[in-house]
Amino acid sequence: MKRLFTTLFLACLILFGSSFKKHRGHVEHYKNEGYLMAVIDGRVFETREENKYTAELKNKSGDLFASANATPLTKVTTSVNFFGTDFKDDDNNVFTESLGFEYTFAENNSMGEPTGQRISLDYNNAKYYNVPGETALKVTKMEWSSDHRYFIMSADFECKMRKWGVPASTQPIVKVKGRVENINVTVPAWIVLKSPTQVAQGGQ
Which of the residue ranges 14-18, 19-23, 130-134, 173-177 would you say has the lowest mean pLDDT?
19-23
How many helices and strands in the chain, by DSSP H and E?
1, 9
Which of the residue ranges 66-80, 101-115, 138-152 would you say has the lowest mean pLDDT?
66-80
Interacting residues of 171 by C-beta distance below 8 A, sequence separation 6+ = 162, 163, 164, 165
pTM score, two decimals?
0.76
Dist. CA 122–CA 104, nearest whole Å: 22
